[in-house]
Amino acid sequence: MAEIYSLVDELCMQKWALITLLQKIQERFGYIPLESVPYISKSLGIFPSQVQGVITFYEQLYTQPRGKRVVRVCRGTACHVRGGKAILKLVKNELDIDEGQTTPDMEYTLETVACIGVCALAPNITVGNQVHGNMNPKKVEKIFRKK
């Protein structure tokens, strides 16, 4: 927590800068520890509920540690009709986690998204920033093969 206090003090700005501050904390730690909310709110002169409200409103802000690589499985229409649901099930089985969870080794976090934006490659997933298209069981196994 000392590092978070230092960061808050370093970046303590006006109330309107709350999102920037939360992004900086997440950038440094990978998530926003909930125990930091009282200090952030006091430093900015706002209620803890306001800080918590912003954190929970933005899907890009996380309150739990995440894996080194975030796996996003597309649930868009094109992916859905081309077997996206089955791909999600395979990824869950390979990683042995459910949506919103992180592997015990902190390697992967699994999410679903409304659309990745590469419908021509459906069904598709991303691992980190890399898009994997035309997914099938063999591709899933190859990407997540346990070593």
Q: 69-144: what fold?
A: Glutaredoxin (3.40.30)
Closest C-alpha among 44, 40, 64, 43 to residue 52: 40
The per-residue DSSP string of 80-96 comes to HHTTHHHHHHHHHHHHT
In contact, 69 and 127? CB cutoff 8 Å: yes
Please tell me the pTM assigned to this model: 0.76
Stretch(es) of the chain classified as CATH 3.40.30.10? 69-144
Pairing type for strands 108-113 and 69-74 reads parallel
Per residue in 34-51, pLDDT (tens digit) is 999 999 999 888 999 999
Per residue in 16-34, pLDDT (tens digit) is 688 988 998 999 888 999 9
CA distance 81 to 76: 9
Closest C-alpha among 60, 59, 72 to residue 124: 72
pLDDT at 2: 75
